[in-house]
Amino acid sequence: MDPSTHVKPACLTRSLLARSRQGALATLMPGSGDPYCSLVNVASLPDGSPILLISRLAVHTRNILNDPRMSLMLDERGPGDPLEGARIMLAGTAEEARGDDVALLRRRYLAAHPAAEEFAGFRDFSFFRIRPNGVHLVAGFARIVDLAPKDFLTDLTGAEALLEAEPDIVAHMNADHADAMNLYATKLLNASDGAWRCVGCDPEGLDMQADSRTLRLEFPQRIAAPAALRQTLKTLAGQARSAQI
């Protein structure tokens, strides 16, 4: 049975937003309004909003600059019949990052797509954030749900200290706790061994990646401060080591 059938719709949507690295982007052609679909790489902000890094030479970018309305399809990308896995269609508007926002979008995107650093600074490339209007979730047979942004985006209220510390947290986990990352992946999330690294965190979970594989470690309770995060990760590492015995 598909594990996603046991996950609440909002949690499954948040997990897909955090774990997805590619998606189908639909935009509107100027004049005719005809739909135009393209494959894009994606990352996400701490609240789950998708991030794009796209070139002005691309048709989809010119479409967005003319009309920011778009939709993005994300799916589990698991083995077997793709229609049996969970997927979401996110509708919203795309907004080019400006000012201080550029650094945040750049850091989060390059953590998920390190190879993009070689062209992220090209003059024709820009980071865009997608502001969701809603999500249509298909989580298996007879599990179809429409969700509003308030139902699936991660609430960042009061978590300013955690978000400010995120770059240091990610660097620390990858430099000093690679063994714990592998334990989280293999013992708590039933993944296979790999060079698992941290790519981000937010009040509700830790995002991990090994090559093209991605995982999300959900926290047992919401976390708003770095000290609480350290204790939670220590506790989870202890649980993982106990499962190893």
pLDDT tens, 60-92? 999 999 999 999 999 987 677 777 789 999 999
CATH superfamily of 160-244: PNP-oxidase-like (3.20.180.10)
Q: Where are the domains of the chain?
A: 3-152, 160-244
Residue ranges in 90-208 assigned as alpha helix (H): 101-112, 117-120, 149-152, 160-176, 178-183
pLDDT tens, 109-126? 999 999 999 999 999 999
Mean pLDDT calculated for residue range 92-103: 96
Rg of the chain taking only CA atoms, in angstroms: 18
Instruction: Say yes or no: domain 3-152 is CATH 3.40.50.10880.
Output: no
> Using alpha carbons only, what angle is made at residue 16 by residues 172 and 26, rounded to the nearest 5 degrees?
120
What is the pTM assigned to this prediction? 0.93
Please indicate whether residue 7 or residue 222 has the higher confidence score (pLDDT). 222
When the pLDDT of each residue in the chain is averaged and rounded to a whole number, the result is 94
